[in-house]
Amino acid sequence: MRILLLLNLGEVLASTQNQPKPQTACDSSKRAHAMRNKKTLLGLCKYDLAQKFGEKQVKIWRRSFDVRPPAVDEKSEYYPANDERYKDVEKKLLPKCESLEDCIQRVLPVWHEEIAAELKEGKTVLVSAHGNALRGFLKHLAKISDEDIVEVNLPTGIPIVCELDKELNLIRRYFLADEAVVKKEIQAIVDQGKARPLSVGRLGEKSA
């Protein structure tokens, strides 16, 4: 059996480094840069977006498979090409916006060329990334449908254990935390897309 651990830590890592919560991915890998830019939506909390555009639209932007949010302007400070961290990345590789479908195409080469190879050698692999990149990995591994992925939420800081066979087929997956804690954290993520927050997780507003 092979073990893969998925951990959503993007905003936690930024906070420990005295940096603002990232609007772009923290991973400097050219292919794993998996950000869903939201143009003028950037800088607004999800509650405000829900009040302005409606909860249904916000959920589509956050969780849909193939719907892209509005593209960020190239002059915006939020455009990755204007970020010093990505100065060595080809501009064409830096997205102005991304759907989950785009994100999956961006991260799967990392899976096939790096992660899968480590797993096949019998190593336990930990992948820490932006929540949407992890949703992409999980969709691929668990063969989650385009419709069902909308309801998949990955809490910040709670590892997901994926048990795989030798061919890297998923045997089972589970959160490495108490069930009550997981439910609370998932509900907090769901509530972020509502016009009025109903619950808050351990780390506040996380996991766009």
Check whether 181 has a pLDDT greater than 90.
Answer: yes
Q: Please report whether residue 176 resides in a domain.
A: yes
Q: Which residues are annotated as a binding site for substrate?
A: 46, 62-63, 131-132
| pLDDT for the residue 207 | 44
Q: Which residues belong to the annotated binding site? A: 46, 62-63, 131-132
Give CA separation, 58 vs 25, 43, 69, 109, in Å: 20, 14, 9, 29
More confident residue, 28 or 106: 106
Would you say residue 208 lies in a domain? no
Residue-wise pLDDT for 5-64, tens only, equals 999 985 555 444 444 443 333 333 433 333 344 445 665 677 777 778 888 888 888 888
Decide if 23 is inside a domain: yes
So what's the pLDDT on residue 200? 52
Q: Which residue did the predictor score with more confidence, 188 or 208?
A: 188
| Geometric angle at alpha carbon 160, from 134 and 21, rounded to 5° | 50
Give CA–CA dist 151/154, Å, rounded. 10
Predicted local distance difference test score (pLDDT) of residue 197: 52
- Strand-pairing partners, residue 112, are none
Task: Tell me the CA distances in angstroms from 63 to 8, 43, 88, 154, 177, one per residue in order.
Answer: 16, 19, 30, 11, 23
Mean pLDDT of 52-79: 83
Dist. CA 176–CA 61, nearest whole Å: 28
pLDDT at 148: 94
Residue 125 has what pLDDT? 97
Specify the number of domains making up the chain.
1
Would 207 be classed as within a structural domain? no
Tell me, what CATH number does 38's domain have?
Answer: 3.40.50.1240
* Structural domain contains residue 39: yes
Interval 124-169: pLDDT, tens: 999 999 888 999 999 999 999 999 998 999 999 999 999 999 999 9
**Residue range(s) defining the domain that contains residue 120:** 2-192
198 belongs to a structural domain:
no
Give a yes or no: residue 200 inside a domain.
no
Residue 205 phi/psi, 5-degree rounding, is -75, 115
pLDDT of residue 78: 82
- The C-alpha atoms of residue 183 and residue 30 are separated, in whole angstroms, by 34
Considering the entire predicted model, what is its pTM?
0.71
